[in-house]
Amino acid sequence: MASQCLVTTGFEDECREIHDACNQPSRLSLLLARRSSSDRQQIKATYHAMFGEDLAGELHKTLMTNQEDENSCKFLPHHELPFQLCKLLYLWMLDPAERDAIMARDAVESRGATDYRVLVEIFTRRKQNQLFFTKQAYLARFKRNLEQDMVTEPSHPYQKALKKNGFSEFEQSLRIVVKCIYSPSMYFSKLLHRSLQCSANNKRLVTRAILGSDDVDMDKIKSVFKSSCGKELKDFIQESLPESDYRDFLVSVAKGSMAS
């Protein structure tokens, strides 16, 4: 039965290359960046059938190793880039519900006042049945209830802002909801533009923007980006970010999915 599955997927060669490159984030990024969401799910299934390993789990090990390296050389220039690439690769290969759960937890735990927008984006662009799986993934991974954490997490800046200037913050949240629902491609096009402009200080925002764009429709976002900014997305990425494997990954994503 397993051999029948392998015969029909067509991703055996890619999985062998990925297996050989699991500790080489730069090589992995070239193999995975231009794969569509459905391709990535098939690659994960084929990888597990061939090697008995969870590909996302293997990427998480690489992420943890690079996080240790980051902590040991935190005063070196550009030390954060390998870690940021590993984190992006790990999130890139997760199921949408798992990805949303991790990003939601990061937002809840963050001290940044704007991170609540991540939660608004998740709850806006997902259907009710998809949100059910996100909440289940959050509970399984963190042993906590997502909706309860959003209300009770102590000292979150957004809660303080709501108490201090509730209408203003509510109005901002409402605008995000409307934009996400009315034109998600325009919303994430603008988010990409803004994140790349401040990319030197905020790789997390760039990662959030590219992952959200992948969930929506990268081809539509590229078209909207060119219309509104007068430039191809891949060219803007190259101009905005310093040369690195992280930048190369984003450029590959912006070029679009390759044929399966």
Q: What local confidence, expressed as pLDDT, does residue 5 receive?
A: 46
Picking from 135, 159, 182, the residue at the C-terminal end of a domain is 182
- pLDDT tens profile 194-218: 899 875 557 888 998 999 888 888 9
Verify that 53 and 25 share a domain, yes or no: yes
Verify that 74 and 121 share a domain, yes or no: no
Which residue type, as a one-letter code, is found at position 167? Answer: F
Picking from 144, 166, 182, the residue at the C-terminal end of a domain is 182
Verify that 76 and 62 share a domain, yes or no: yes
d(CA 180, CA 59): 30
Verify that 11 and 80 share a domain, yes or no: yes
> How many distinct structural domains can be found in the chain?
3
Q: What local confidence, expressed as pLDDT, does residue 2 receive?
A: 46
Q: What local confidence, expressed as pLDDT, does residue 134 receive?
A: 96
3-state secondary structure 89-137: HHHHCCCHHHHHHHHHHHHHHCCCHHHHHHHHHHHHHCCHHHHHHHHHH
26, burial (CB in 10 Å: exposed 0-12, middle 13-18, buried 19+): middle
Verify that 3 and 89 share a domain, yes or no: yes
Picking from 32, 63, 93, the residue at the C-terminal end of a domain is 93
Verify that 189 and 218 share a domain, yes or no: yes
Verify that 72 and 154 share a domain, yes or no: no
Q: What local confidence, expressed as pLDDT, does residue 248 receive?
A: 94
Q: For residue 24, what is the domain's CATH number?
A: 1.10.220
Q: For residue 230, what is the domain's CATH number?
A: 1.10.220.10
Domain range enclosing 249: 184-260
Verify that 131 and 188 share a domain, yes or no: no
> Which residues of the chain are modeled with pLDDT < 70?
1-9, 66-81, 111-114, 153-175, 177, 199-201, 257-260
Verify that 81 and 110 share a domain, yes or no: no
Closest listed residue to residue 104, CA positions, set 60, 137, 57: 137
Verify that 117 and 82 share a domain, yes or no: no
- pLDDT tens profile 215-255: 888 999 999 999 999 999 999 999 999 899 999 999 999 98
Verify that 84 and 9 share a domain, yes or no: yes
- Chain centroid, CA 9 distance in Å: 25
- Chain centroid, CA 47 distance in Å: 21
Verify that 2 and 54 share a domain, yes or no: yes
